[in-house]
Structure 1
Amino acid sequence: MKLAKRGAQAALLLSFAGLLAMTACTKVSTPASPQATAAPSTLQAVLQRGTLRVGDCLTFAPFGFYDKNGQPDGYDVDLAKELAKEMGVKLEVVNTTSANRIPNLQTSKVDVVFCNFTRNLERAKVIEFTTPYVVASEALLVKKSSGIKSIKDMSNRTIATVKGSTNGDEVRALNMAVKIQEYDSSQAAILAVKQGQADAMIEDNNFLAYQAKLDPDLTVTDEALVPLEYNAFGVKAGDQAWLNYLNLFLFNINASKLNAQLYKKWFGVDPHYSLNPQF
């Protein structure tokens, strides 16, 4: 009987040992950590690639344009050069329009967009914005001979806007009897005013002041048609590391006055509006 009992105990021990062995060999799935599943940041992609791709509107002088040698130049381009220098990478400026700023970010054709990008809640649903780097209001660019002094003189006339910009919506919000004509670029809208195809162009007042400086037949109305617009860099949604880096870059160039120096270089005056409004 004792031998039988000992045999049963031994069999039981062997069975238990086998169960332990099977348990040790079985892989137990654990939830992946957020860091393991998160997409790599654009910041790391740029550093690894060695090239920063900046979307800039190169038909929007002095923010962005091609110089006489066919190279990108302007206020935004100078800022892009400073950012690339800080990151220790090469700069690639990708010519961008108002209409494809957001699609280019969403499809990763560019890493960041500088193109006179006004922050608003509708755009913030699909992309993210840095802190502002330049502020403006809006006015009208008209011929001096037109007799137009303000938006009040635009009843039953034509205003040129750029496709993909917020300007058309702002004109509609005025509830005036005006015709809105959209163009593919700022230069096309300006040409429409010069050739009499449009009576005025609505755009940021600092951009218009530069255009009037280039052409003595043009002038800018002395008014602020909308509340101040805070323009920023646009980045793909959900990339907090890249957003943090760009915000720190902007803090540094504002604190050092470099941004203000570049603004005066291109517009001939000091920035008119504060980047940090007093509420």
Structure 2
Amino acid sequence: MKLVRASAKIACAITMAGLLSIAGCTKTAPRAQDASASSTLQKVLQRGMLRVGDCLSFAPFGFMDQNGKPDGYDVDLAKELAKEMGVKLEMVDTTSANRIPNLQTGKVDVVFCNFTRNLERAKEIEFTSPYVVASEAMLVRKSSGIHSAKDMANRTIATVKGSTNGDEVRSMGIPVKIQEYDSSQAAILAVKQGQADAMIEDNNFLAYQAKLDPSLKVTDDALVPLEYNAFGVKQGDQIWLNYLNLFLFNINASGLNKQLYNKWFGTDPKFPLNPQF
């Protein structure tokens, strides 16, 4: 009987030692407090400065005003975000090529900059919910009688050199003539002067051009699949991503985002942010 009790005590001791050994070798999950402290959200609040990467050469999303200060639709959104956070704002001029590197190296806290969500980019960064939707449409003269791509048979489309925009209409089986220009402004001028019947480009960009010139209008076509543009953030920072998504929810629910869009593009958003499947 004593031998059995002794064996039981030894077995119990071995079991406890094993459990302690396992506990000592097992990595504990990071505490929520540690994750919060390392989040960009906390860094921005502690720094007192929000650094937003934006393309300041793509009006009306972002551009430099007459006084050399950042302005535009994206800039207004950035100002609202900084205001909600109670911090100052620094707009960092960004290009399409350095949007992701600037996030990965911590040069900026978030990127706006006409950033379309796609699976390839999602391998390197994370995206918020969309805040603006785009497709390609046509800019035409109001007096042209053109209402959609179906009206473009044997007419001329102005495109920027190197662009494949005109091919979207050709792919619909519509015979069109394509005339190339060195810049978007030159293509727009060709439409105004009657040298071309239409120009194809991002519908948001074209809406801005129509706002500047009341003799122009944008067709209702969606010539390519819709592009859902969002804020880009560094991978692995769920706390910051959650905060930005709540910010976007609030400005959409309040109507502020729609108001700012109308301010800059002269029209209400054409496409819903959340498609119906």
Question: Is 1:46 aligned to 2:40, yes or no?
Answer: no
8 Å CA contact 1:143–1:193 kept in 2: the answer is: no
- Structure-2 residue corresponding to 1:25: none
Determine the C-alpha separation between the residues in 2 that align with 1:132 and 1:35.
30
Q: Which amino acid aligns with 1:117?
A: F
Determine the C-alpha separation between the residues in 2 that align with 1:161 and 1:43.
42
Question: Is 1:208 aligned to 2:206, yes or no?
Answer: yes
Aligned to 1:241, the other structure's residue is in SS state helix
Aligned to 2:129, the other structure's residue is in SS state coil
- Structure-1 residue corresponding to 2:254: 256
Give the aligned CA root-mean-square deviation in angstroms.
3.8
- Structure number with greater Rg is 1
Shift of 1:172: 8.4
Give the TM-score of the pair, scaled to structure 2.
0.71
- Structure-2 residue corresponding to 1:65: 63
Give the TM-score of the pair, scaled to structure 1.
0.70
Shift of 1:212: 3.5
Determine the C-alpha separation between the residues in 2 that align with 1:243 and 1:273.
24
Question: Is 1:240 aligned to 2:232, yes or no?
Answer: no
Which range moved further: 58-67 or 221-230?
A: 221-230
- Structure-2 residue corresponding to 1:7: none
Determine the C-alpha separation between the residues in 2 that align with 1:99 and 1:172.
25
- Structure-1 residue corresponding to 2:18: none
What does residue range 18-57 of structure 1 map to in structure 2 within 5 Å? 30-35=25-30, 40-57=38-55
Which of 262, 265, 268 is the equivalent residue of 2:263?
265
Question: Is 1:160 aligned to 2:160, yes or no?
Answer: yes
Give unpaired runs (5+ residues) of structure 2.
Answer: 1-22, 191-195
Shift of 1:221: 5.0
CA distance 1:147–1:258, change in 2 (3 Å): closer
8 Å CA contact 2:168–2:223 kept in 1: the answer is: no
What does residue range 37-116 of structure 1 map to in structure 2 within 5 Å? 40-116=38-114
Determine the C-alpha separation between the residues in 2 that align with 1:181 and 1:245.
44
Q: Which amino acid aligns with 1:35?
A: P
8 Å CA contact 2:137–2:203 kept in 1: the answer is: yes
Deviations 1:83-112 (A, max 9, x none): 001111110001111222112111211111
Aligned to 2:205, the other structure's residue is in SS state helix
Q: Which amino acid aligns with 1:49?
A: R
CA distance 1:168–1:116, change in 2 (3 Å): farther
Determine the C-alpha separation between the residues in 2 that align with 1:91 and 1:174.
45
8 Å CA contact 1:170–1:226 kept in 2: the answer is: no
8 Å CA contact 2:57–2:63 kept in 1: the answer is: yes
Give unpaired runs (5+ residues) of structure 1.
Answer: 1-27, 183-187
8 Å CA contact 2:49–2:90 kept in 1: the answer is: yes
